[in-house]
Amino acid sequence: MGEKAIWETIQPSRVFYYFEQISQIPRGSGHTRQISDYLVSFAVDHGLAYIQDELDNVVICKNGTKDTAPVILQGHMDMVAEKRPGSPHDLLEDPLALEVEGEYLTARDTTLGGDDGIAVAYMLAILEADGYVHPPLEAVFTVDEEIGLLGARGLDFGRLKAKRMINLDSEEEGILWAGCAGGVSAQVEIPVRFIQAQGVQVPVTICGLKGGHSGSDIHKKRANAHILLGRFLYGLDQQMEYGIAGLSGGDKDNVIPNKCRVHLVLEPGSLEAFAAFCERWQEDIRREYAGSEDGICVVFEQEGEAEVPVLDPSSESRLLFFLMEVPDGVHKFSGVCRHLVETSSNLGSLRLGEDALYAASGVRSSVEPAMEHIREKICFLAEFLGGTAKAEGGYPAWEYKEDSPLRHVMAEVYEELYGRPPKVAAIHAGLECGVFYRAIPGLDCVSIGPDILDIHTPDEKLSIPSTRRVFDYLLDVLKRI
């Protein structure tokens, strides 16, 4: 007899059945056509009305067990596709290798995609069943949330009738999220020039960092590999001459980069001093990040002597200045909501091309003028260094509202189930709720979800008991409203 599927060993089995099904489909941001077509096939197989738009967003409608006001259930079908260094996993072709570790579901060597695959699984389990009591449902599955809420921003909201929405893209059980930050990507391009240089080629990698989500993890004192690289290069510049032949790290501005790589060219007689510098720098930076980033490493190789193109002195200085001065991390906590990060930025993408340094920072804030201030600082820095900067992928904040009938009902149901009130809060991460809130006048919205740890990293884990409880809670909420 063959080994049982993951879903056959976990309750509620249909939620995990669908989670396992969609985990067989590669669905990294920008590659969502296959999962979109799967959702259409599901709707056809179950006799449900659906819409698939030109962006591959999918809306599936189901009649209610009573003729009451409809409700939107909403989540996104794409995931952040990351893997461990050295893993042979092909994120564009291979299915995820799901594993159960105690009370958690995880994926071998890759991100799990619980953000936001669990929303897809929840909605499909509800849509297929005949025994649940619920109002008319508009299940909205969006694409490319992780790269700028692109699906939600291109959705035809005129096709939706509901004025109430339960978003299923949160990662902490027991919290009713009632507001989120807006965001924008600051894209920087700084021109550079190269000259020929003779020396020993030494690729250097800063690695061993935790990384994480640039919204929900930005306050956890995790190091940004790109910012560390700037400090490393600046410190090395005080000790010896070197050339920079290449540089790369990260490709998503909403992910705190956990590694980056620079290709250095050193004078042949400086290797011993360089090794000593690396050892001292690693020790110092580990001491600085003790308790939050204990695994920081500097790894270098020696590839022999050659003549290669390296940045000219002026370009090298501009690169160092940019990395030392670019805003990064938490800039301000909210004065209204205790412990809420109000404004932050994350240098998530960095690449040295043939004629320019390319960088992208994800800027977030629940206060639009504060977000604009940080974006303007990044743009001014780029222009000061002779480069250009532009804003891309802006999305609105979801403003907290004191009066929310939907949130009131959901709080009541939660307290009846668990004997304690839920926490009501706003989140620093961007949610599609902001786009829906701006597009649907009078929308009453709440965001919930089960416990998911270390999202956007290969350490991502989905709590199985929490997934079960949140599903039962969602069913009770739908029954009540």
What pLDDT digit, counting tens, does each position of 291-349 carry? 999 999 999 999 989 999 999 999 999 999 999 999 999 999 888 777 789 999 999 99
Identify the three-state secondary structure at position 232: helix
102 found inside a domain: yes
270 found inside a domain: yes
Evaluate if pTM is beyond 0.85: no
475 and 440, same domain (yes or no)? yes
- CA–CA dist 192, 56 (Å, integer): 39
48 found inside a domain: yes
Phi, psi of 19 (to 5 degrees): -65, -40
Which amino acid does the sequence have at 319? L
In CATH, what number is assigned to the domain containing residue 57?
A: 3.40.630.10
13 and 80, same domain (yes or no)? yes
Residues in the chain: 481
Instruction: Please choose, from the candidates 258, 268, 160, the residue with its C-alpha nearest in 3D space to the C-alpha of residue 208.
Output: 258
Identify the three-state secondary structure at position 196: strand
Is the pLDDT at 427 greater than 90? The verdict is no
**pLDDT reported for residue 3:** 58
- Annotate 59-75 with b (16+ C-beta within 10 A) or e (fewer): bbbbeeeeeeebbbbbb
Percent of the chain with pLDDT strictly greater than 90: 85
The residues assigned a catalytic role are 78, 145
Phi, psi of 290 (to 5 degrees): -55, 130
From the number of C-beta atoms within 10 Å of its C-beta (0-12, 13-18, 19+), residue 330 rates as: middle
Q: Which two tokens stand for residue 442?
A: 């009078």
Percent of the chain with pLDDT strictly greater than 70: 98
The arithmetic mean of pLDDT across residues 90-111, rounded, is: 96
**pLDDT reported for residue 1:** 34
- CA–CA dist 236, 356 (Å, integer): 22
Final residue before a domain boundary, out of 395, 417, 443: 395
352 and 216, same domain (yes or no)? yes
226 found inside a domain: yes
Task: Please give the tally of structural domains in the chain.
Answer: 2
Identify the three-state secondary structure at position 256: strand
Is the pLDDT at 5 greater than 50? The verdict is yes
Range of the domain at 408: 6-181+397-480
* Confidence class for position 11, pLDDT limits 50, 70, 90: low
1 found inside a domain: no
In CATH, what number is assigned to the domain containing residue 364?
A: 3.30.70.360
Is the pLDDT at 366 greater than 90? The verdict is no
